[in-house]
A and B are shown apart, each in its own frame.
Chain A
Amino acid sequence: DVQMTQSPSSLSASIGDRVTITCRASQGIRNDLGWYQQKPGKAPKRLIYGASSLQSGVPSRFSGSGSGTEFTLTISSLQPEDFATYYCLQHNSYPTLTFGGGTKVEIK
């Protein structure tokens, strides 16, 4: 089974900060990874697919990179509406899927 290790589990940041979240896969997963944002009481929303492709309608301050075992989600300039929990999801082992543990982004 592919395990996804996401770090950090939480972080505090200020408006305008650059934020980086990392997911590491237990084995190579090519670019079979997506990033999701979840706000309290809401369903997750897809931000990135194919490791680096921006979902339509998602602000360009979000970007994804990586391939193989290490992946990064970057928010270039944190905005108030970006405070949320972020998850990575691998589908290399399709049809079974694995989420990372999540990263909660909080206001400093």
Chain B
Amino acid sequence: QVQLVESGGGVVQPGRSLRLSCAASGFTFSGYGIHWVRQAPGKGLEWVTIIWYDGSQKYYTDSVKGRFTISRDNSKNMVYLQMNSLRAEDTAMYYCVREDLRHLDQWGQGTLVSVSS
């Protein structure tokens, strides 16, 4: 079955960096775009970024542009989110999500990022 497993979350000081990973299995990974969606504690869902199936295109929400970078390794069925210059407002659960024809259809369980001094 389709599985997306996030890792790499933790507690980090403002201004520091963190890299999240998403391990995919159970489907032809190289055929699907992957998104990251985040949810601050007690808040709603916020779309963060997408990488196309082949890594050729990447898009970001305005608040993370220039600080976050999404990448993927189709040989390893992995997606990464490099987060630099972290801010308190980046504190959230980060979900890796598969896209199917522009719809978000399969979600990972999430990894928690806490930015605090």
Interface residues of A (CB under 8 A from B): 32, 34, 36, 38, 42-46, 49-50, 55, 87, 89, 91, 94-102
Contacts and interface: CB of A to CB of B under 8 A. Distances in A.
B50 A34 contact: no
Residue from B33, B35, B105, B108 whose CB has the most chain A CB atoms within 10 Å:
B105
A42 B104 CA distance: 16
B44 A99 contact: yes
Interface residues of B, number: 19
Nearest to A46: B105
A46 B33 CA distance: 17
B104 A96 contact: no
Interface of B: 33, 35, 44-47, 50, 57, 59, 61, 95, 102-105, 107-110
Contacts of A89: 45, 104
Contact of B47 (A34, A42, A99): A99
Contacts of B59: 95-96
A102 B103 contact: no
B49 to A, nearest CB: 9
B53 to A, nearest CB: 12
Given A43-B95, A43-B107, A99 B102 contact: no
Main secondary structure of the interface of A (DSSP, over half): loop
Contacts of A96: 47, 50, 59, 61
Contact of B44 (A45, A46, A101): A101
Contacts of A87: 44-45
A45 B107 contact: yes
Contacts of B46: 99
B45 A34 contact: no
B35 A43 contact: no
B80 to A, nearest CB: 18
A37 to B, nearest CB: 11
